[in-house]
Amino acid sequence: MAANLPLEKNPPAFDAEAVRRDFPILATSVHGRPLTYLDSAASSQRALPVLRAVENYETHSHANVHRGVHALSQAATAAFEGARERVRRFINAASVKEIIFVRGTTEGINLVAQSYARPRFGPGDEILITGLEHHANIVPWQMVCEQTGASLRVAPINRRGEVPFEEFLRQLGPRTRLVAFAHVSNALGTVLPVKRMVEAAHAHGAVALIDGAQAVPHSRVDVRALGADFYTFSGHKMYAPTGIGVLYGREGLLASMPPWQGGGDMILTVSFEKTTYNELPAKFEAGTPNITGAVGLAAAIDYLEGLGIEAIAAHEQRLLELATSELARMPEIEIVGTAAHKAAVLSFTMKGVHAHDLGTILDADGVAVRTGHHCAMPVMTFFGLPATARASFGCYNTEEDVARLTSALRRAREVFG
């Protein structure tokens, strides 16, 4: 665990310019301007080592996994299962049986909703989420509530965009069966006190699922130290390809859950009378998996750990602080989400300029930000906003990106007069 490592007095200097050279897409120009990519919270870019690992696998090792005795099938199986072991180490899971490859965080949450919650919940049971959640951590639970008669409760947020812990505790009760919350809010960047929230859920006999999509690229995640029952994240937000993600589940829980999709690879024997299911993790991986994606994910983990997640986090925190203070000096800008503990995300509005107009004007300057409701419409409703603009930072962003953002914002002000 990170906490046991000796603290380094001087963290290694972070060379963002060298990092930028690892991301070929950053040399792209947009509308004749250099690309300023500030949308990593929506999807990050791919590092050369990830691209090379994917190309190398596709060029030299591809076949189907777990099926053939021929050399390529064994090479593909070794690459795929090697990636699983790489993920296990990355999040410090106890066993590779606890690492289920999924398409992404959305699929991970849906798997738990349909396979853990749906068979065991009924009327009177409660599922607790928070007011900060992404639609992917709201809708699957609403579907389970419709299917089972369970009810959904929501721990409210405050004007800073935090989930006050006492409010969260107040929503927990004897009927709470499952608690699901983001590790980091995608819309506002708020970091939630997930360890305390898991402990509180456990104290009420509920299991806890953490949506880690926005946390894994920015912080060291140790699922056992957090005590998480389920933890899920996406590859494409951590410099790996799209279409690959991970659901971690405690082995005892996963073993007790029925499969949620049927097909090849998830069975031991099939007859028309009786089918027996494969063991973990194959039980939850019906069909040919995204082998290429898993290979890319393992390469992305190597890359992240090579740079040092703590060093990346410190670098991004410096950029967040710089951008926050620059935008705070612009009177027409209002920052949305001012939690004491934030990660890599800056959401804001500009007086008199709708977020979508802002997005178009920034794009004309080559500055890519997300505009809209960020798949978190309840958060927007809470703040009484139809939309915000969101700048989000990754390991490859620099102070120059922040300067380009602020100068593009001044231009927006000029366009709208």
Partner 1 sequence: MDLKELYRDVILDHNRHPRNFGPLAGANHHAEGNNPLCGDRLSLTLRLNGERIEDIRFEGSGCAISTASASLMTEAVKGKDRSSVRQLFERMHALLTQADAAPDPALGKLAALSGVREFPARVKCASLCWHTLNAALSSNAATVSTE
Residue 350 touches partner 1, criterion: CB under 8 A: no
If one asks whether residue 332 binds partner 1 (CB under 8 A), the answer comes out as no
- 357 in contact with partner 1 (CB under 8 A): yes
Q: How far is the CB of 169 from partner 1 (least distance, A)?
A: 32
Among residues 117, 172, 355, 405, the one that binds partner 1 under rule CB under 8 A: 355
Q: How far is the CB of 134 from partner 1 (least distance, A)?
A: 15
| Closest approach of partner 1 to the CB of residue 171, in Å | 27
**Sequence-separated (6 or more) residues with CB below 8 Å from residue 411:** 361, 365
Give the Å distances, CA to CA, from 31 to 36, 147, 303, 367, 372.
Answer: 12, 49, 31, 10, 22
Distance CA 224, CA 315 (A): 26
- How far is residue 385's CA from residue 15's CA, in Å, rounded to a whole number? 38
Catalytic residue among 323, 375, 380, 405: 375
Residue 13 contacts by C-beta under 8 Å, 6 or more apart in sequence?
A: none
Rg (Cα) of the chain, in Å, rounded?
22
Q: Which of 267, 272, 300, 308 is nearest to 286 (CA)?
A: 267
Who's near 159: CB < 8 A, 6+ residues apart? none
Distance CA 209, CA 212 (A): 9
**What is the separation of C-alpha 163 from the centre of its chain, rounded to a whole number of angstroms?**
19
Does the footprint of partner 1 cover residue 187 (CB under 8 A)?
no
Query: Closest separation between CB of residue 323 and partner 1, Å?
Result: 23
CA angle 344, 349, 351 (to 5 degrees): 155
* Annotated catalytic residue 375: yes
Residue 127 vs 362, nearer CB to partner 1: 362
Residue 28 is a binding residue for partner 1 (CB under 8 A): no
Residue 11 interacting with partner 1 (CB under 8 A): no
Where in 367-396 is the site for partner 1 (CB under 8 A)?
Answer: 372-373, 377, 380, 386-387
Instruction: Say whether residue 410 binds partner 1 (CB under 8 A).
Output: no
* Region of 115 on the Ramachandran plot (φ > 0 left; ψ -120 to 50 alpha; else beta): alpha
Residue from 169, 322, 364, 368 binding partner 1 (CB under 8 A): 364
What binding mask, one character per residue, do residues 209-228 give for partner 1 by CB under 8 A, x or -?
A: --------------------
Name the minimum Å distance from CB 182 to partner 1: 20
User: Is residue 296 within the footprint of partner 1 (CB under 8 A)?
Assistant: no
Among residues 70, 159, 356, 410, which is the contact residue for partner 1, using CB under 8 A? 356
- Strand order from edge to edge, sheet including 370-372: 333-336, 345-350, 388-392, 370-372
Name which of 217 and 337 has its Cβ closer to partner 1: 337
Stretch of 110-118, 233-241, 325-333, 347-355 lying at the interface with partner 1 (CB under 8 A): 347-355
Question: Which among 15, 6, 3, 8 has a CA at the least distance from the CA of 307?
Answer: 15
Verify binding: residue 354, partner 1, rule CB under 8 A.
yes
Nearest residue (CB) to partner 1, 217 versus 366: 366
For residue 136, state whether it binds partner 1 (rule: CB under 8 A).
no
Of 119 and 352, which has the nearer Cβ to partner 1? 352
**Interface with partner 1, residue 409, by CB under 8 A:** no
Sign of CA dihedral 241, 244, 245, 248: negative
Structure-token pair, residue 174: 């004897």
Q: Does 313 bind partner 1 (CB under 8 A)?
A: no
DSSP 3-state of 367: strand
415 binds partner 1 (CB under 8 A): yes
Q: Checking phi first, is residue 375 left (phi over 0); if not, alpha (psi -120 to 50) or beta?
A: left
Q: How many residues make contact with partner 1 (CB under 8 A)?
A: 20
251 near partner 1, rule: CB under 8 A: no
Binding flag, residue 277, partner 1 (CB under 8 A): no
Neighbouring C-beta atoms of residue 136, cutoff 10 Å:
22
Instruction: Report the interface residues with partner 1, using CB under 8 A.
Output: 31-32, 352-357, 360-361, 364, 372-373, 377, 380, 386-387, 415-417
Q: Which residues are catalytic?
A: 375
